Amino acid sequence: MSDLDVKKFVEERVKAVKEVLGDEKALIAVSGGVDSTVSAVITHRAIGDNLACAFIDDNFMRLGEPERVKEMLSSPPLNLPVRILRERERFMKALEGLSDAEEKRKAFRETFYQTLGDAARDEGCRFMVQGTIKADIDETTGGIKTQHNILEQIGIDPVERFGFSVVEPIKSLYKYQVREVARFLGAPQAASERQPFPGPGLSLRVVGEITEEKLQQEKLANDAVEAHFEKHDPAQYFAAVLSAEEKSAPEGLRSAVSEVFGIEESEVRVAYLKERGTGMVDGNRTYGRIATFKVKGEALRYGELETARAAIQSMEPGISRVLYHVAGKEGGKYRVAMRAVETRNFLTAEIAKVPHETLKAAADEILEKCSEVVGVYYDITPKPPATVEYE
Ligand code: XMP
């Protein structure tokens, strides 16, 4: 049962946007996601063709996404005026050499708004419409991370810095409410039911430093995970790519894992990865170690995996994520983590109990398609203590 009167909400927001914008032109960056789509449709109803919709091709979208999204949004019933801005080099250059999660987010955000500012000037727009929702604001003001679409909340004056004012028509809604509004507006299922995709896109899933090669492996791996996991319909599911480099993990972890599975220590392998991943503990952001473990034979019983995960993290609280080894091959520079979560509001999340056959099939496809991937894992860490995304 919904707690939102959808029809009334839309009427009120259309009226409010019309009052703020009057005869002004506005620009919105659309991604095909439910938040930006709903914001664009509401604004389009308010100001008609004074709204310009830009899809920024930043190189961090999934394979084929720019064209697919443009087609969906500009066709009936939405009929939004969408233009693709080709800006791959600009974004790659801005993120070049950066490996810290928060520095990458900042560089992405700066480039994103500079790009939009340029587009706004080209189109003669003084206003920018954004699909910010309630969780984005809660997490940013709570200090968990800087969501890329929050400006004023973190003390950036968009007029001074980028030359436009921001309008956020759905910032009072949670994700499930945004979906209700999308269905009411007649958005295609591909938009209304689309799994969330973060603004900085795959840049958060190429963990650490981004190179063209690592990004290409990420795109292929992410495609495989989406194709295999879709039938189980988790709230969100994707792949992240990490450097294959490992560091040794404390010995105690191996015996803890072997105890949980009732096997010899020699049948367990535990390692740390070189790169770190974001987490959340007591409402605060962490940037911790990523531990992987491999056990001999097939150990996919979710009860045991959860017990092992909890044991590892209670012994070493600096670990933000635990990855369970699904399949591997010889040689390569990267490892892939598959992630799938169940959640209602994304402030907390459980891992999705994806059947072993699916994990194995997706992992095998990743190993086959991604020439540089040595190992594929399933991330078994809930939020908290991890976050959904890796950065
Ligand atoms: P985390 O990683 O914080 O993610 O547990 C919670 C949800 O938010 C999405 N997410 C973002 N969405 N801009 C967005 O539009 C961002 O910067 C961003 N960071 C995370 C994430 O995909 C998940 O659904």
Question: What are the pLDDT digits (tens) for 277-321?
Answer: 999 999 889 999 999 999 998 767 999 999 999 999 999 999 999
- Shared domain check, 94 and 30: yes
- Rounded to the nearest angstrom, the distance between the alpha carbon of 270 and the centre of ligand 1 is 29
221 and 185 together in one domain? no
Mean pLDDT of 132-154: 74
Q: Using one digit for the tens of pLDDT, what is the confidence trace for 196-213?
A: 899 999 999 999 999 999
Residues 186 and 224 in one domain: no
In this structure, are 263 and 135 located in the same domain? no
Q: Is the Cβ atom of 339 under 6 angstroms away from ligand 1?
A: no
Beta strand segments in the chain, E = 26-29, 51-57, 82-86, 127-129, 165-167, 236-243, 246-248, 268-281, 284-295, 319-328, 334-342, 350-351, 373-379
45: in domain: yes
Residue 333 has φ and ψ, to the nearest 5°, of -95, -10
* 147 shares its domain with 225: no
Q: What stretches of 126-174 show up as alpha helix (H) in DSSP? A: 134-141, 158-162
| C-alpha 348 – ligand 1 centre gap (Å) | 12
Q: Are 81 and 133 part of one and the same domain? A: yes
Q: Tell me which of 166, 192, 218 is where a domain ends.
A: 192
User: 28 CA distance to ligand 1 centroid (A)?
Assistant: 19
Mean of the pLDDT values across residues 329-351? Answer: 95
Q: Is residue 234 part of a domain?
A: yes
Q: Which of 38, 109, 112, 147 to mutate to test the pocket of ligand 1 (most atoms within 8 A of CB)?
A: 147
Secondary-structure percent of the chain, ordered helix, strand, coil, rounded to 5: 45, 25, 35
Give distance in angstroms: CA of 347 to centre of ligand 1. Answer: 10
Expressed in angstroms and rounded, the spacing between residue 198 Cα and the centre of ligand 1 is: 5
The CA distance from 36 to 164, in Å, is 18
Question: Closest Cα to atom 18, ligand 1: which residue?
Answer: 198
153 and 256 part of one domain? no
What local confidence, expressed as pLDDT, does residue 348 receive? Answer: 93
Clarify whether residues 265 and 305 are in a common domain. yes
DSSP 296-360: SS----HHHHHHHHHHHHHH-TTEEEEEEEEEE-S--SEEEEEEEEE-SSSSSBEEP---HHHHH
CA distances from 44 to 102, 245, 270, 319 (A): 34, 49, 53, 46
**Residue with the two structure tokens 């520079």:** 333
**388 part of a folded domain:** no
Q: Which of 261, 262, 325 is nearest to 291 (CA)?
A: 325
185 is in which domain, residue-wise? 6-192
Same domain assignment for residues 185 and 241? no
Q: Are residues 134 and 232 in the same domain?
A: no
Which of 104, 237, 389, 391 best tests ligand 1's pocket when mutated (most atoms within 8 Å of CB)? Answer: 389
Where residue 161 falls among pLDDT bands split at 50, 70, 90? Answer: confident
Q: CB-side exposure of 54: number of CA atoms within 13 Å?
A: 25
133 shares a domain with 282: no
Listed range (135-144, 205-214, 227-236, 382-391) with the worst mean pLDDT: 135-144
Closest by CA position to 339, among listed 327, 316, 322: 322
pLDDT in tens, 306-315: 999 999 999 9
pLDDT band at 162 (very low <50, low <70, confident <90, very high): confident
**Does ligand 1 come within 6 angstroms of the Cβ of 196?**
yes
389 CB within 6 A, ligand 1: yes
Tens digit of each residue's pLDDT (9 = 90 or more) over 55-71: 999 999 999 999 999 99
**Number of separate domains in the chain:** 2
For residue 355, is it within any domain?
A: yes
Are residues 98 and 221 part of one domain?
no
Using the mean position of ligand 1's atoms as its centre, give its distance from the Cα of residue 128 in Å: 21
Q: How far is CA 367 from the centre of its chain?
A: 23
**198 in ligand 1 pocket by Cβ < 6 Å?**
yes
- Which residue from 346, 347, 351, 390 has its CB within 8 A of the most atoms of ligand 1, so it is best to mutate? 346
Backbone angles phi, psi at 194, to 5 degrees: -65, 135
Q: What are the distances in angstroms from CA 344 to CA 95, 115, 229?
A: 32, 33, 18
371, part of any domain: yes
Of 131, 166, 192, the domain-final residue: 192
In the three-class reduction of DSSP (H, G, I as helix; E, B as strand; rest coil), residue 279 is classed as strand
Report the pLDDT averaged over residues 169-175. Answer: 94
Please count the other Cβ atoms lying within 10 Å of the Cβ belonging to residue 386: 29
Task: Specify if 46 maps to a domain.
Answer: yes
Please work out whether the CB of residue 388 comes within 6 Å of at least one atom of ligand 1.
yes
Ligand 1 pocket check for 151: Cβ under 6 Å: no
Flag whether 386 is in a domain. Answer: no
Average pLDDT over the chain, rounded to an integer: 94
Residue 391 falls within a domain, yes or no? no
Contact residues for 238 (Cβ-Cβ < 8 A; gap 6+)? 205, 222, 225, 226, 338, 339, 340
Task: Choose the final residue of a domain: 192, 220, 250.
Answer: 192
The pLDDT, as a whole number, for residue 146 is 67
Residue nearest to atom 3 of ligand 1 (CA): 387
Confirm or reject: Cβ of 148 under 6 Å from ligand 1. Answer: yes
pLDDT digit string, tens, across residues 219-236? 999 999 999 999 999 999
CATH of the domain at 185: 3.40.50.620
Q: Tell me the residue type at 132.
A: T
Work out the average pLDDT over 137-159: 72
The whole-number pLDDT of residue 373 equals 98
pTM for this model (two decimals): 0.91
Beta bridge partners of 238: 339
Give residue 387's identity as a one-letter amino acid code.
T
Output the six-digit token pair for 264. 């010899």
